[in-house]
A and B are shown apart, each in its own frame.
Chain A
Amino acid sequence: MLVFTLRRLNLFIFTFIMLTALSFSLSFLFPGDALTNLTGQINASPEQRALLAEEYQYNSHIIKQYWAYLTHLFDGDFGISIASHLPISSEIMNLLPATIELSVVALFIAMAIGIPIGFLAAINHEKIPDQAILFVSMLGYSIPIFWLGLLAILIFSIQLGWLPSAGRISLVYEIKHITGIQFFDILLSDSEYKWQAFQNATLHIIMPASVVAIAPMTIFIRLARTSMLEVLDSSYITAAKAKGLTFWQIIYRHAIRNSLVNVIRHVGLQFANLVTLAMVTEVIFSWPGIGRWLIESIFQRDYTAIQGGLLALSSFIFIVHILTDFIYAALNPLARDRKHGA
C-alpha cells in the first residue's frame, strides 16, 4: 500500500507541474500581452505595471517567471478577472462548488440507475431484454446533450410545468454562502424556511442532473454489463453452481460484489466526460457553475479566468481520479501490488 501511495503521489506532483506549466504557457499563447493575461490587471498604470513585472519576475529567465507564478498560485493568487475585476480565486470558490454539486448528483443518478440495468442486461445475455437495453443505451449515448436539455425544458418546464427551468434555487430564499454546496448550506442555515428551501433546491437540480446523467448512465450500463459477463464466466461461479446455490444466490452473494469492484475502477475515468457534459448543461439551465463562467469568459476575452478555471477544473478531476484509484485499491487487494504507474 505504501508503494501504491508513493506512486500516486509521484503522479500527482507530475500532473500538478504539467498543469501549471500548461496554464503558465497559455498566458503567452493567448492574444495580447503576457503579463496582462497572467495578472488580469488590464488598466494598470506604468508604475503598477513595473511593480507587477517585478513581482512576477517578468524580465528575468522563463524558469524564474514560472517559479514566481507558482509562488503566486500557492498564495492563492490567481490574478484578477479581466471582465469583472474580482479575484479569480474568490470567483472559483463561488462557482466550483455548484459544478461539483451538479456533477456529483449526476454521477449518483447515473450509477444508481445504470449499474443495476447493466447487471440486468448481463443476466439476460443475448436475450430480448439485453438487446433492448443495449439499443436504448446506444440511443442515450448518441443524443446531443444541449438538444436533450432544450427538449427537457420544453416538456417538463413549459408544457407540464413540473420543474423550474433555470438556476439553483428560487430567489425568494436567501441562503448564506458557507461551503458553497447548496444542500449543506441550507442544512447549516437556521432559517425557518429551511425545508421549503431544501425542496426548492431539489426541484431545481433534478432536471439538469438527469440531463447530465444520461450519457454516463449508458456508459455505466455497458461497463456493468461487461464486468458482470466476465464474472459470470469465471470458475468460482461454476463452483458456486456446483455447490447447489440457486441462481439468485449466486448473483447476490458472488457476482454483484465482484463485478461492482470493476465498475468502480472506471468511475474516475468517466468523471472528465461528466464534467464536459455538465459545462454545456450549465449554459442551458443557467446553472451558476464554473463551466458557464468559462464559456462566457471566452466571449469577454477574459484570459485570466480561462487559465484559472482550467487549472481548478482539471485539478479537481485529477483529485477525483486519484481518490477512485485509492477506493479501488482498498476494495481490491489484487490491484495494490500489480498496477504500476498508469
Chain B
Amino acid sequence: MARENIYQEEEFPSPLQQLWYKFKAKPMIMLAFSCFLALVFLAIFAPIITPFSSSQTHLEFILLPPAWNDDGNVSFLLGTDQLGRDMLSMLMHGASFTFGLSFIIVITSAVIGVVIGSLSALTSGFKSSFLNHFLDVILSIPSLLLAIVIVAILGTGLSNTVLAIIIVLIPQFIHTTRNEVKREFAKDYVLASKLDGASSLRILQYSIFPNIIEKIITQATLAQSAAILDIAALGFLGLGAATYIPEWGTMVSNGIDLFYIAPWTVYFPGLAILFSVIVTNLVGEGLRHALKQRKEY
C-alpha cells in the first residue's frame, strides 16, 4: 500500500510524548489539568498572594456574608468567619495544607511502597505468601480506623495525621507494585535480559521499572484523592489540624455551630475539598485513559 505521508522524515514520539499527546487530546481533561496546576501554584505561593493573613482578625467585620450578598463587603470576597478572618485568604492558605500536604504524603508513601513492593515481588514461597496474607489483613482494616489507631499512638495534630495517612497508603502501593512487577516478570523480554545474565535488581531497574512507572503514577493520583479526603476527614473529626490552622476539613468543623446563621463558612471549604478531589480524579482518569489508548495504538 502506498504511503500517504509525503514527508521523508517521520516523527517517532517517545512513550512519554505519546502519552502526553493522548492526554491533551481531551479538552475536559486539559481543563482539569490546568486547575490542578493552579492548585499546585496556590499551595506553594499562597502566603504571598493572599489578600490578608489567614490569622488576621477583623473585629469590625465578623460573620460578613460573601460580596454578592447585599450585606457583603467587596474587600472580603467570600465573607468572614466568626473571628472576622477573611474566608478567601483562609481557603487559599488551606490549599497548602489540604492539597499540598497530600502531595508530600503520596510521594513519600509511593517511594516507600514501590521499594518494598518491588523487592517483595522478588521473593517466593513462604515469605511471599506470608507477605500476601499480611497485606490482606492490613488492607481489610478500614483506612480511617488504622489512621485513628496511629493518631491514638502518636497524639493528635497535623504532622501526626500526615504520618498516619502515609502509613495507611503504603500497603496499597506495595500491593500495586508487587502485582505489576510479578506480571511483567512473566513476560518474554524479561526472560531475554535474564538470559543475557542480568541480575534481578538490574532487570527491575532497567527493564521493568520503565514499564510500570505509569501504572504507579495512576495509583498515585488515586491515592492523592484519598489522601485529600482523609486529611479533611481527620481534620473534621478534630484529630488532625488544630482549630486555628485553615485546613479545609477543620474549617468545615469550625463552621458547624454557625451553619444556620452563616452557611458560607461551611459551604466554601467543602466546595474547595470537592473541587480539588474532582480535579485530581479527572487528571487520574485522563492518565488512565491515555495509557489505555497508547497500549491499543
Chain A partners chain B = yes
CB within 8 Å of B: which residues of A? 11, 14-15, 18-19, 26, 29-31, 138-139, 141-147, 150-151, 154, 158, 272-273, 275-276, 279-280, 283, 294-295, 297-299, 303, 306, 309-310, 313-314, 317-318, 321, 341-342
Q: Which of B7-15, B59-67, B141-149, B183-191 contacts A (4 or more CB under 8 A)?
A: B141-149
Provide the bound-state CA to CA distance between A151 and B255, in Å: 13
Interchain nearest-CB distance for B248 vs A (Å): 8
**Could you say which residues of chain B place their CB within 8 Å of the CB of A313?**
141-142, 145
* In the complex, chain B residues whose CB is within 8 Å of the CB of A146: 232-233, 236-237, 249, 252-253
Interface size class of B (residues with CB under 8 A): 35 or more
Q: Kindly state whether residue B132 has any CB partner on chain A within 8 Å.
A: yes
Residues of B within 8 A of A11 (CB): 133, 136
Is there contact, CB below 8 Å, between B274 and A314?
no
Residues of B within 8 A of A154 (CB): 259-260, 263
Known contacts being A138-B282, A317-B141, is A147 close to B266, with CB within 8 Å? yes
Q: What residues of chain A lie closer than 8 Å to B47, measured between beta carbons?
A: none
> Please, which residues of chain A bring their CB within 8 A of the CB of B273?
144, 147
Q: Which residues of A contact B129 (CB under 8 A)?
A: 341
For B28, the closest partner residue in chain A by CB is A135
Further contacts, 4 of them, CB under 8 A, given A31-B153, A276-B144: A11-B136, A144-B273, A276-B142, A294-B148
Chain B residue at minimum C-beta to C-beta distance from A135: B28
Task: State whether A14 and B133 are in contact (beta carbons under 8 Å apart), knowing that A142-B281, A147-B252 are contacts in the complex.
Answer: yes
Q: Check B142 against A298 for contact (C-beta < 8 Å).
A: no
9 A-B pairs with least C-beta separation: A147-B270, A142-B277, A276-B142, A276-B144, A142-B278, A18-B137, A146-B236, A144-B273, A275-B142
Q: List 30 A-B contacts (CB under 8 A).
A: A11-B136, A15-B136, A15-B137, A18-B134, A18-B137, A26-B149, A138-B278, A142-B278, A143-B274, A144-B273, A146-B233, A146-B236, A147-B252, A150-B270, A151-B270, A154-B263, A272-B141, A276-B143, A276-B145, A297-B152, A298-B156, A298-B239, A306-B148, A306-B149, A310-B145, A313-B142, A314-B137, A314-B140, A314-B145, A342-B136
Q: Enumerate chain A residues within 8 angstroms of B236, measured Cβ to Cβ.
A: 144, 146, 280
B229-A15 in contact (CB<8A): no
CB closest chain-B residue, reference A303: B152
Give the docked Cα–Cα distance between A29 and B154 (Å): 9
A273-B148 CB under 8 A given contacts A144-B229, A154-B263: no
- Measured between alpha carbons, how far is A197 from B133 in the docked complex, in Å? 45
Contact with A144, one of B137, B142, B153, B232 (Cβ below 8 angstroms)? B232
Tell me the nearest residue of chain B to A131, going by C-beta: B28
Docked pose: A177 CA to B253 CA in angstroms: 33
Complex alpha-carbon distance, A271 and B32, angstroms:
30
What residues on B are CB-neighbors of A18 within 8 Å? 133-134, 137
Which listed residue (A139, A144, A298) contacts B233, Cβ 8 A?
Answer: A144
B285 at the interface (CB under 8 A from A): yes
Q: Which of B154-187 contact A (CB under 8 A)?
A: 155-156
Task: Indicate if the CB atoms of B140 and A15 lie closer than 8 Å.
Answer: yes
B291 at the interface (CB under 8 A from A): no
Per a CB cutoff under 8 Å, which of A14, A295, A314 touches B237? A295
A272:B142 contact, CB within 8 angstroms: yes
- Given A138-B282, A150-B252, A298-B151, A279 and B137 touching (CB < 8 A)? no
* Residues of chain B with a CB closer than 8 A to A299's CB: 238
